[in-house]
Amino acid sequence: MITIQIISRVVFIVTALCMITCRESPFSKEMQFQKEVVHHQSLEYLCRISGQMTVAGQHNREPNSNPDQWTKYIKRITGKYPALWSGDFLFQQENIDDRPTMIKAAHLQWKNGALINLMLHTCPPNTGEPCLWDPGIINHPLSDEEWKELTTDGLALNLAWKERLDTIAVYLRYLADHHVEVLFRPLHEMNQAAFWWGGRPGPNGSAKLYRITHHYLEDYHNLNNLIWVWDMQDLSRDLEAYNPGEDYWDVFAFDVYADGYDQSWYDYILTFVGDKPIAIGECGALPSAEMLARQPRWTFFMPWAEWVKDHNSEDQIRQLYNDPRIITRDEMSGWE
């Protein structure tokens, strides 16, 4: 079993080995995807509460050296911990170095009964890590030719992307070995063209890279602790054009930074998600208890790190956390 103390060393070793041995895809592009039936207790939990209750979540971004800072802020002002904890692998050198600290926090939060959400802000595949936010994560678009190379099995950028995934797979394996389930949200806000991975609708666009990522982590790395989150933003009503396919996602998340709380967005989303859980994947301003009552299928909300403080008063936060519809960590029964 991998221990948290040797993760960084194992990342280096695995990446080096993959540079030697992983030049051919572990699956052909003609291979038909058959999803293994795995029962995730946290996904089943979201399905059970859908339409009835909503989990309070909180994202914690940099620094990874302090991966609970905004979760602790919520506890300080409400007396309750959020029932969903979220972290990010991130892309700056200091935060890459502190990924083991972040993963250890995720493990502890799971042991304490929380749902775990992990994001992957990662550098463009035609650059190494670390990189800048801007240009880098945003405003570093790939050309159409580079995108084709990225999404064509065995080409240089495709292999570079898989090597990037190798570096995080070790941490996901640590969590799997400790029976921690992860709401995994790579390539979030697919319709946000500012991100290097975003703004490419259609089957060969952003959705294809999501499918490649899914296959590689599940089929090659054999990670079965991941609950796949397909995430979009309240930008334009063409969300279906980014759908990776029903077999590739378990939860639909919707990031609200404009008018996403409007009832028409909720009604639109219900037309294509079927019975799968939906969630407010990110927000600045929190939803109101009244809105959640009108839109009961949101299974969790997750404000963005410091935005929970910047865009909400402490009274607003307390009022929402005290609503009987909202689930906090003290109400979670724990995981087997």
Q: What is the pLDDT along the chain (336 residues), one digit of tens a residue?
A: 445 555 555 444 444 444 433 333 333 333 344 445 678 999 999 999 999 999 999 999 999 999 999 999 999 999 999 999 999 999 999 999 999 999 999 999 999 999 999 999 999 999 999 999 999 999 999 999 999 999 999 999 999 999 999 999 999 999 999 999 999 999 999 999 999 999 999 999 999 999 999 999 999 999 999 999 999 999 999 999 999 999 999 999 999 999 999 999 999 999 999 999 999 999 999 999 999 999 999 999 999 999 999 999 999 999 999 999 999 999 999 998
Residues 150, 209: contact at Cβ < 8 Å?
yes
Return the C-alpha torsion angle 265, 268, 272, 274, nearest 10: 80
From residue 279, alpha-carbon distances to 32, 87, 125 in Å are: 29, 17, 29
Within a 13 Å sphere around the CA of 283, how many CA atoms are in the beta-carbon half? 23
User: Would you give the end-to-end CA distance of the chain in angstroms?
Assistant: 19
Between β-strands 326-327 and 278-283, what pairing exists: parallel, antiparallel or unpaired?
Answer: unpaired
Q: Domains plus CATH for the chain?
A: 4-17+37-331 (3.20.20.80)
